[in-house]
Structure 1
Amino acid sequence: MAFSKQILVFLVLVGIFNISCNAQGLKLGFYKKTCPSAEAIVKKETASIMAVAPTLAAPILRMHFHDCFVRGCDASILLNSTTNNQAEKDSFPNLSLRGYGSIDRVKSAVEKKCPGVVSCADILALVARDAVSLLNGASWPVPLGRRDGNVSNSTEVLFNLPPPFFNITQLKANFASKGLNAKDLVVLSGGHTIGTSHCSSFTNRLYNFTGVGDSDPSLDSNYVARLKTRCSATDTTTLVEMDPGSFKTFDTEYYTLVAKRRGLFTSDAALLADSETRAYVTSHATPQGSKDFLKDFAKSMVKMGKIGVLTGSQGEIRKTCGFIN
């Protein structure tokens, strides 16, 4: 057991070392000389998309998260499956993602101005930031210079993405393996303030939590009753707001819900099981915590955006995000 723990610590440290080394290749204004209008084009196109479909902000933010946690922020989530390979986007946890067409639209606009210069990985990072900002959410500096990976394997998704049923110990270990700490965990979980979820991601908490037809005792009983009116035990299609009442606004209401034991997922409830994450939830379950949350979210997103990046001569700059060159 002690040896296993040493191996785990070693792997986490190696992962953090690789993250920090590669991230040094990123910098603000990376395209200042090669494509000075790149960020302005991304912002303009994202604004046009959001004006028509503001609900895309949540899935695009989630897409960026899912990309970075598997192979690092290398746009591997955007690659299409081939006859011989099932890509990440076709793995079960990613089947509900939306917004690929929007990323392609932004990429095409940038390509017209500066062909073969700006990576899909950088575009995804920028669109995620701009989409959140347009919902009155946080904004953050996005260091650029990521290169696109040429490998995308669906089997790697399940080993890297934290599922909604993880407990706090599993969540902290998963985030630590990516160079993120407990504060990053609770801050980035705040992204659940926007968007929706399929019933199937949490119905186990409503109908058969321990296998005897019971509900999760950590979920408010009144909320259980309300959710049961929306979701049957076998429902796989209905969408439920993760932050009812303000799911289109980037605010701290998510923490208010979690504090009231009304977070949808086991992973939301888990934030109350750790002293550090619980303290953050409690302090931000008030209007006063809003400014601090936006500031913290910005910092954690910058950290997340540096996970396992390819820089320099690594990878490539894809011409089309769904295909390697």
Structure 2
Amino acid sequence: MSGNLADGERGGAAGAFLEIACDESGSDGENLTGGNTDVFAHAGVSLSVASAAATVREIRDRIRSPAEEYKANHLLREKHRAVLEWLLAPQGPIHGQARVHLMEKAFFVVDRTVGLLLDDAAEAAVLFRAGRPAFGEDGWRSFLEAANQLLRVRHDGDPVDVFYGTVDTLRRTCPGTDAARILERLAATRPRAESYRDGFLAGPPLIPLLNPLLPAIVRTAALWSPDGRPVHLVHDRQNMLTPERIAWIGETARQTGIRLAGMRLVVARDDTRVQVADFLAGIARKIASDELNGRGDPALTALLRPYVDPDSVWGDARSGALLAGPVTG
């Protein structure tokens, strides 16, 4: 593609579309409860190549690190606080041209588990909010880890036995609570869990239930086409993004009314737009994680808020400070 149009706008035989450069931060594959991060972030920017290059140059000029490739961690260092604030500020280079979809990993595990076993999305939010106080910190951690093992493709031991053993133990510790009520329902779903695991005998699924990247890409496309305008994505190259999965992304977008014109993979260091998306994803993940863990920085949270997708995936009100609208799950 070529053209000298406004930021992010490209033309073609089918008419103008918006080109969005994307990257993620916090990916641990399907290991959502035992990885290094508790938040997953997927960012998109509509900057032109020239604008993105100018932004990266300015960041390098201000930070003056000898590193060949800059990452979000450079901007998150306290000594570079002014550069971070400049990047996110309303007068900064990406304001109005960048969005980020955030996902609290622990809630994503609960949501996918309850969705698979009970087909009842509302109960996921109830269990997430009631589980920790009902089971205690150790019990809640045991439940999350057992649920994560049950759903992931690669696992240790017998994840079905471990999950239902954990459910049986925990439901007896807090009788009469909402958490216990939902665990009583889960206790009766073992045949469905076994059927899910048996499905892996024919090989791993094309779309792993627990991998957050693929639905996040679909959501990013939706964020940039609220009026039905065609969107084309340029994404950092990843092993997860095989041609078959890219086709799934396109078909899922089509079925939900998103006009995704296509998707192209690039090496991040070769596209400054993707580098800027990488900066935003890493910054947003860290600010969100700090907020969720009670060590948030009010000034940085306020600067990030205009960029955050209001349909980010959160489990409780701790995320409220990050969102422009009501908490969603």
Instruction: Report the TM-score when normalising by structure 1.
Output: 0.26
TM-score by length of 2: 0.25
Larger Rg computed on CA atoms? 2
